[in-house]
């Protein structure tokens, strides 16, 4: 004997069917979100620089970790942008930027910290902004690191590493040189040297592509 369409057995079967569909949809959405969050670094910048082309610097808006000490030439574009506790890359359009990815727990970052400070003292007064991008770090630890090494350039904070991924970083430290038009014209993977900082800062000022260079030690965060 066939079950009637309105019988309890049929109703239960239909109910289980609906829940199964909902469960599958939920699983699909969860996998999609996981895939988006774990897609890994974007290689667009490295590919472009390898081919001798500049790449559009990925946009970001992040919490200001440390406002630093701004030289008079940069107080207009940089000081004003930092005032509200949030900084977007778009606010620095028109200013060449040396963007350095770092963390307090990154051992190689300690090696390059004095060089970054020296470069900031040299190029900041010439109108080149130095900006630290602190990733996957605690605020207190990051500020303690900056204080310990006498870092006076400003830094922003990415609690995870989404911005680092958008720039194609596979480790830290990494340094990107962004020209006044908002294009990445150079990159140093690993600890940056004084010479590499000077070459990159000059290239950012001139809007000239210098490509990707492998520097010193790096801390893999993939």
Average pLDDT per 10 consecutive residues for the chain, totaling 222 residues? 53 55 44 43 91 97 97 93 95 97 97 97 97 97 97 96 94 97 98 97 98 89 64
CB 169 within 8 A of CB 14: no
3-state secondary structure of 12: helix
Give the bridge partners for 129, in sequence order. 97
Residue 220: per-residue pLDDT: 76
Q: How do the domains of the chain map onto residue ranges?
A: 1-39, 44-220
Residue 35: per-residue pLDDT: 43
CB 62 within 8 A of CB 193: no
Q: Is the peptide bond before 173 cis (omega within 30 degrees of 0)?
A: yes
Distance, first Cα to last Cα, the chain = 61
Residue 82: per-residue pLDDT: 94
Helices (H), the chain: 8-37, 44-50, 80-82, 107-123, 139-148, 162-166, 194-206
β-pair type (174-178, 171-172): unpaired
The residue among 218, 61, 79, 95 whose CA lies nearest residue 154 is: 79
Euclidean distance between CA atoms 114 and 108, whole angstroms: 12
β-pair type (61-66, 97-102): unpaired
Residue 14: per-residue pLDDT: 60
Is CATH 3.40.30.10 what the domain over 44-220 is classified as, yes or no?
Answer: yes
The residue among 188, 201, 196, 186 whose CA lies nearest residue 120 is: 201
CB 149 within 8 A of CB 108: no
Q: What is the pLDDT of residues 102-150, one digit of tens each?
A: 999 999 999 999 999 999 999 999 999 999 999 999 999 999 999 999 9
């Amino acid at each position: 004997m066939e079950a009637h369409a309105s019988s309890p057995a049929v109703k239960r079967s239909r109910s289980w069917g609906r829940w199964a569909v909902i469960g599958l949809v939920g699983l699909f959405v969860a996998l999609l979100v996981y895939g988006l969050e774990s897609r890994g670094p974007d290689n667009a910048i490295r590919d472009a620089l390898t081919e001798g082309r500049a790449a559009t610097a990925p946009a970001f808006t992040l919490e200001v970790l440390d406002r630093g000490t701004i030289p008079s030439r940069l107080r207009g574009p940089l000081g004003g942008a930092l005032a509200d506790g949030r900084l977007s890359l778009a606010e620095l359009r028109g200013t060449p930027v040396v963007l350095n990815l770092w963390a307090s727990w990154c051992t190689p970052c300690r090696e390059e910290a004095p060089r970054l400070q020296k470069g900031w003292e040299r190029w900041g007064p010439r109108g080149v902004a130095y900006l630290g991008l602190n990733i996957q770090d605690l605020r207190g630890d990051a500020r303690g690191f900056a204080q310990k090494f006498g870092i006076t350039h400003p830094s922003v904070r990415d609690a995870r590493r989404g911005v680092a991924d958008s720039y194609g970083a596979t480790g830290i430290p990494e340094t990107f040189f962004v020209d006044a038009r908002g294009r990445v014209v150079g990159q140093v993977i690993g600890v940056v040297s004084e010479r590499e900082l000077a070459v990159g800062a000059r290239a950012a000022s001139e809007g000239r592509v210098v490509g990707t260079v492998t520097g010193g030690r790096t801390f893999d965060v993939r």
